[in-house]
Structure 1
Amino acid sequence: MGVGMQIACLGFTGSAALEAEAGAQLVRLERFRAWIDGCQLAIESRMAADGACLYDVRLDLTMHGAVRRSLPPCVGADVDDALRRAFAQAEQALIAWQAGAATAALRDAAAGDAIR
């Protein structure tokens, strides 16, 4: 089974094209399905002080065991760019968490070997 995703658009009406782009970006996280169950994508439209429209894209990852990891938001005038940056950030975070877990497993294995 793949990684699931819930999408919420706040302050504007989402589009099929936006959902398609989010689905395409979700493929980047598919290789981490051993780590994550799903993600929640929130895209909020808001006005900047100068009146320009900004998109605040937040991605929360639901890890196995129902642990939720919130990532910092990606903000920009181009919703597709902010969306791509949010998924790139998630991919980098998962790589780092995976590497940290592998390092811990190697350290634990080495400590176990030293005890024997």
Structure 2
Amino acid sequence: MEFSLDRDESQVADEHVTADVTDRDGAVVVSVRGKVLYDTLAPLADVLSDLTQRPELHLVLELSDVPMCDSSGLNLFVRTRSRLAETGGWLRLTGTRPLVDNVLHITNLDRILTRYATVEEAIAAG
């Protein structure tokens, strides 16, 4: 299953987020591209909201194409993790870039949003 959600294409390319969803080895992988910011994260939020309706979902957010993430994005990740945990699922992050890693570390969210180098490692840790 693949989805690609884009905001209005008339906007500048770096002002939107895309999310491609695939099933892989018992997990759902959401490959995210773009800056995850307050005014750009709506398409990703919609995808994650739909996915969190599934019980016991194992979700990997692949973020290697996300150059930055603000507090709204972090809030979205934490809310998603909480919803999944309530139904026996989990959320794992992969491919985080230095700026995103730094924000996770500064906010201490790296303690609850587990990160892995690759999607395969995140799934295997299950």
Q: TM-score if structure 1 supplies the norm length?
A: 0.30
Tell me the TM-score normalised to structure 2 length: 0.28
Compare the two structures and name the one with the higher strand fraction.
1
Structure ranking higher in helix proportion: 1
